[in-house]
């Protein structure tokens, strides 16, 4: 079986963007691939450096999010980055093969510096993250990586490292992993920001209650130029219609087209379309909420899922590290 490796940064709970960007593909492929899901808790320190205790809570929440979209712990290995010391040894070796300039040229890193307002106040760990990520993926020799569009540049870095090490040693130690971008590579936020992001406060969480969904949708950004329901409205790029298109079951298709037509002609108000979206999202989230309930009050089960995953990955990554060192001639 080929291997999938992907993961989440436990800096907050998972949202609709994560669903269409990566979670959906994880669930779909769980029977065809051996799947590893990493929680990048050490990496989360780049965002939560002053409150590290929150990261463990978020790790449990994010595990719950993954289980609630239908990932079966019998098929999937979940593990925490901080529990696998081999990752950092592999990353240290990798970092010798990445130039400082190459690390700074990463477009996702550049975007995040701007979108998160980091200025020149970012850590070395933040800049190095694509190298740690290469170690996250390659410690289990992951071949396919279901991710959102913002991760494409990181994957390119991983491939470069794999290629370079293979060429250097003359052995096929590492695969060159491929990105699998989700149905929506980058889902827009409720505020119209091109990315729904857990650090951007523009999310609808998979764990939101019906009431929270309603509140967030009713406050959503739509067409800023439309003041009255009789004004012709813009459908393209309007987050309300983007969510309708992406989270409604096929049966609503005609109704959505009708709303789009009326919206363009100024024949329907924002409130009516938003109320419809509330129903659509609550229907979509129904089964996810139900699955979450079945796992929520089982802290021992959640802990043992992670414990088993950690120990499995420690074993695999020890073998990978030993192989790498041996091929580099480090036989001490
Ligand atoms: P942070 O701001 O802390 O980086 P994030 O919202 O980007 O948080 P991550 O844990 O970094 O979340 O991302 C997990 C996965 O979800 C990645 O594969 C990422 O590409 C994908 N993803 C995140 N946000 C979106 C989005 N809005 N649309 C599609 N995919 C997304
Ligand atoms: Mg991110």
Average pLDDT value over all residues in the chain: 96
Which residue puts its alpha carbon closest to atom 18 of ligand 1?
147
Is 103 found in the same domain as 82?
A: yes
199 found inside a domain: no
Is 226 found in the same domain as 164?
A: no
Q: Is the pLDDT of residue 169 over 90?
A: yes
**Can you give the residue range of the structural domain that contains 231?**
208-291
Is 164 found in the same domain as 19?
A: yes
- The two three-digit tokens of residue 116, written as one number: 């998160």
The pLDDT score that the predictor gives to residue 255 is: 96
311 found inside a domain: yes
Is 232 found in the same domain as 88?
A: no
195 found inside a domain: no
The pLDDT score that the predictor gives to residue 243 is: 98
Q: What is the pLDDT of residues 56-78, one digit of tens each?
A: 999 999 999 999 999 999 999 99
In this structure, are strands 34-39 and 3-8 parallel, antiparallel, or unpaired?
Answer: parallel
- The two three-digit tokens of residue 194, written as one number: 């091109």
Give the model's confidence band at 250: pLDDT under 50 very low, under 70 low, under 90 confident, else very high.
Answer: confident
Is 153 found in the same domain as 37?
A: yes
Measured CA to CA, the distance from residue 313 to residue 315 in angstroms comes to 5
Q: Are 194 and 188 in contact (CB under 8 A)?
A: yes
The pLDDT score that the predictor gives to residue 115 is: 83
Is 122 found in the same domain as 52?
A: yes
232 found inside a domain: yes
CA angle 50, 135, 143 (to 5 degrees): 130
Is 41 found in the same domain as 129?
A: yes
Q: pTM of the entire structure?
A: 0.95
Ligand that lies nearest to the alpha carbon of residue 47, given by its number in the listed order = 1
User: CB under 6 Å to ligand 1: residues?
Assistant: 8-9, 11, 17-18, 20-22, 47, 147-148, 150-151, 184, 186-187, 195-199
Is 125 found in the same domain as 231?
A: no
Query: Residue 196 C-alpha to ligand 1 middle, in angstroms?
Result: 8
What average pLDDT does this structure show over 144-171? 96
200 found inside a domain: no
The pLDDT score that the predictor gives to residue 319 is: 98
Which residue puts its alpha carbon closest to atom 20 of ligand 1?
148
The pLDDT score that the predictor gives to residue 200 is: 81
| CA distances from residue 148 to 76, 137, 184, 285 in whole angstroms, order as listed | 20, 15, 8, 20
Is 103 found in the same domain as 218?
A: no
Is 84 found in the same domain as 62?
A: yes
Number of domains present in the structure of the chain: 2
> Which contacts qualify for 123-128: CB closer than 8 Å, 24 or more apart?
123/46, 123/49, 125/42, 125/43, 125/45, 125/46, 126/46, 127/103, 128/91, 128/95, 128/103
What average pLDDT does this structure show over 39-57? 95
Which uninterrupted H or E stretch holds 154?
Answer: helix 152-169
96 found inside a domain: yes
Measure CA 102 to chain center.
24
In percent, how much of the chain has pLDDT > 90? Answer: 92
264 found inside a domain: yes
CATH number at residue 153: 3.40.50.620
Is 177 found in the same domain as 217?
A: no
Q: Are 189 and 196 in contact (CB under 8 A)?
A: yes
Beta-carbon neighbour count of residue 101 at 10 Å?
A: 7
CATH number at residue 283: 1.10.240.10
> Which contacts qualify for 223-232: CB closer than 8 Å, 24 or more apart?
224/192, 226/270, 228/266, 229/266, 229/268, 229/269, 229/270, 230/266, 230/267, 231/266, 232/264, 232/265, 232/266
The pLDDT score that the predictor gives to residue 180 is: 98
167 found inside a domain: yes
Pocket test for ligand 1, best of 198, 203, 206, 239 (most atoms within 8 A of CB): 198
- The two three-digit tokens of residue 328, written as one number: 């580099």
Q: Are 167 and 6 in contact (CB under 8 A)?
A: no
Q: What is the pLDDT of residues 263-314, one digit of tens each?
A: 999 999 999 999 999 999 999 999 999 999 999 999 999 999 999 999 999 9
CA angle 141, 143, 147 (to 5 degrees): 115
Which residue puts its alpha carbon closest to atom 8 of ligand 1?
198
Is 303 found in the same domain as 155?
A: yes
Q: What is the pLDDT of residues 93-113, one digit of tens each?
A: 999 999 999 998 899 899 888
Q: Is the pLDDT of residue 174 over 90?
A: yes
Measured CA to CA, the distance from residue 92 to residue 96 in angstroms comes to 7
Q: Relative to the CA of 188, which ligand 1 atom is closest?
A: 27
Q: Are 169 and 328 in contact (CB under 8 A)?
A: yes
Q: Is the pLDDT of residue 217 over 90?
A: yes
Q: What is the pLDDT of residues 1-36, one digit of tens each?
A: 999 999 999 999 999 999 999 999 999 999 999 999
Measured CA to CA, the distance from residue 138 to residue 158 in angstroms comes to 8
Q: What is the DSSP string of 23-63?
A: IHHHHHHTTTSEEEEEE-HHHHHHHHTT-THHHHHHHHHHH
């Amino acid at each position: 079986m080929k291997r999938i490796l992907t993961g989440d940064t436990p800096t907050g709970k998972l949202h609709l963007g994560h669903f269409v960007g990566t979670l959906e593909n994880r669930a779909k492929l769980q029977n065809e691939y051996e799947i590893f899901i990493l929680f990048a808790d050490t990496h989360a320190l780049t965002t939560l450096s002053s409150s590290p205790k929150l990261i463990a809570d978020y790790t449990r929440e994010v595990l719950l999010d993954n289980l609630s979209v239908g990932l079966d712990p019998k098929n999937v290995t979940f593990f925490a980055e901080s529990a696998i010391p081999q990752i950092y040894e592999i990353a240290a070796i990798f970092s010798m093969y990445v130039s400082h300039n190459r690390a700074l040229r990463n477009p996702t890193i550049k975007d995040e510096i701007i979108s998160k307002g980091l200025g020149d106040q970012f850590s070395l760990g933040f800049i190095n993250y694509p190298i740690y990520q290469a170690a996250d993926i390659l410690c289990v020799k992951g071949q396919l990586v279901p991710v959102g569009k913002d991760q494409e540049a990181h994957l390119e870095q991983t491939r470069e490292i794999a290629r370079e090490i293979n060429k250097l040693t003359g052995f096929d130690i590492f695969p060159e992993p491929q990105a699998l971008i989700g149905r929506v590579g980058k889902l827009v936020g409720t505020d119209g920001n091109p990315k729904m992001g857990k650090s951007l406060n523009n999310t609808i969480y998979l764990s939101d209650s019906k009431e929270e969904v309603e509140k967030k949708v009713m406050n959503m950004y739509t067409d800023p130029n439309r003041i009255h329901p009789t004004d012709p409205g813009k459908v393209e790029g309007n987050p309300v219609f983007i969510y309708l298109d992406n989270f409604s079951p096929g049966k609503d298709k005609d109704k959505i087209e009708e709303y789009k037509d009326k919206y363009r002609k100024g024949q329907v108000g924002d409130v009516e379309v938003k109320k419809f979206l509330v129903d659509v999202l609550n229907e979509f989230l129904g089964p996810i909420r139900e699955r979450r309930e079945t796992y929520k009050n089982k802290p021992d089960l959640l802990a043992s899922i992670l414990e088993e995953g950690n120990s499995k990955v420690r074993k695999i990554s020890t073998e990978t590290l030993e192989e790498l060192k041996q091929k580099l001639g480090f036989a001490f």
